[in-house]
Amino acid sequence: MDREVVAHEILNPPELAEPVGFSHAVLAAAGRTVYLGGQAGHDADGKVVAGGLIAQFTQAAANVMTALRAAGGKADHIVSMQIFVTDVQSYRDSLTDIGAAYKEHFGRHYPATALFGVTDLFDPDARVELVCIAVIPDA
């Protein structure tokens, strides 16, 4: 039985650190769904930004938007967001500043979202990582 091959496009914008073992974004052909790889607070050199949770959240959100724009998307195309943090209480204590950083990058668009407290992230200096799915409408 022949299987249909599903085409997709791997997108790794040059403005982001070169990925190792993952892609920054994958544009699926069917439905123009974009699966955005986990974005932590890494700068273009792959180093975690200084400044703690809020600075890292701000950078992670900027990285999500850079990857999404590479696929032709914008913030209101995000349909799902998972937020992984190593310290849930610190996240709760920083909600006002996190909210301001969120609105700076995503506006007042609020996709289906979940927050997960985790022991570690891949980069031991990372405090937060965002994973998103977006659906870009057909033109």
Q: Hey, where are the domains in the chain?
A: 8-135
The tokens for 70 are 């590479």
**Selected residue with higher pLDDT from 24 and 39:** 39
CA distance 108 to 93: 21
Residue-level pLDDT at 4: 42
User: Residue 113: pLDDT band by 50, 70, 90 thresholds?
Assistant: confident
The CA–CA distances, whole Å, from 14 to 50, 61, 63, 69, 71 equal 22, 17, 11, 12, 13
Residue-level pLDDT at 125: 96
| Helix spans in the chain (H) | 52-70, 88-93, 95-106
Whether 10 shows a pLDDT value over 70: the answer reads no
Fold (topology level) of 8-135: 60s Ribosomal Protein L30; Chain: A; (3.30.1330)
User: Residue 12: pLDDT band by 50, 70, 90 thresholds?
Assistant: confident
User: Residue 6: pLDDT band by 50, 70, 90 thresholds?
Assistant: very low
User: Residue 88: pLDDT band by 50, 70, 90 thresholds?
Assistant: very high
